[in-house]
Chains A and B, each alone.
Chain A
Amino acid sequence: MMEALAVLFISAGLFFFFTATVGLLRLPDFYSRMHAMGKADTMGLLLTLTGLALYQMGEGLSWSKAFVAFKILLIAVFWFLGGPTATHALLRSAFEGGKMPWTKDGQAVLDWPRQEER
């Protein structure tokens, strides 16, 4: 039972890692690759590590096993906090370095609620 769940979670996680890799290779510029990376990898890590923690718990419940499983999940929680920060730092450094995104109509920066302001 536990193993079937673990296989399910790990496969789902691998699918998201696959998405991240394909996005990294196919999308046109740095900013859009960031979309594929910053989201899919966090999700992939969370699902894969959940699956591995379930597998680690195994059949017999014991205190030390649960502790190790908890630590495995702690990695995922940590990355949930750290991942967006790392993404943000990279994007900011690229934007301040003067790299503009690839666009279809050549306008890189739009002001959003267009009616107001001005």
Chain B
Amino acid sequence: MEGFLVGTGLVLGGFVVAGFYRIAFGPTIYDRILAVNLIGIMTVVFLVLMGLIYRRVEMFVDIALMYSLLAFIGTLIFAKYFSKRGVE
């Protein structure tokens, strides 16, 4: 079962690397924010996974909760900022 969790982490890592393509070559700024958002969500899952693998989940789950809040607020702030500026 431990091995399955590590494998899940590796697969998620692969998806994150695929997401980096959009961050690097996304045609507009919004594509990049979108990719950052997706990577943030995967990181939340990754944090809980790490907690389960290291058997310290009661600590990691708080970090994951905070991180999901930060990812959400970060997306909102990006959206607000770029709509005011009208940057392409």
Contact = CB atoms under 8 A, between A and B. Distances in A.
Interface of A: 3, 7, 10, 13-14, 17-18, 20-21, 24-25, 30, 33-34, 37, 41, 44-45, 48-49, 52, 55-56, 64, 68, 71-72, 74-75, 78-79, 82-83, 85-86, 89-90, 92-94, 96-99
Contact of A24 (B35, B44, B61, B80): B35
Contacts of B35: 24
Nearest to A64: B58
A14 B86 contact: no
Contacts of A86: 37, 72, 75-76, 79
Interface of B: 1, 4-5, 8, 11-12, 15, 18-19, 21-22, 28, 30-31, 33-35, 37-38, 41-42, 44-45, 48-49, 52, 57-58, 61-62, 64-65, 68-69, 72, 75-76, 78-80, 82-83, 86-88
A96 B15 CA distance: 31
B30 A99 contact: yes
A25 B65 contact: no
Given A75-B64, A86-B72, A90-B79, 6 more contacts: A14-B8, A24-B22, A45-B44, A71-B61, A79-B41, A90-B34
Contact of A71 (B34, B41, B65): B65
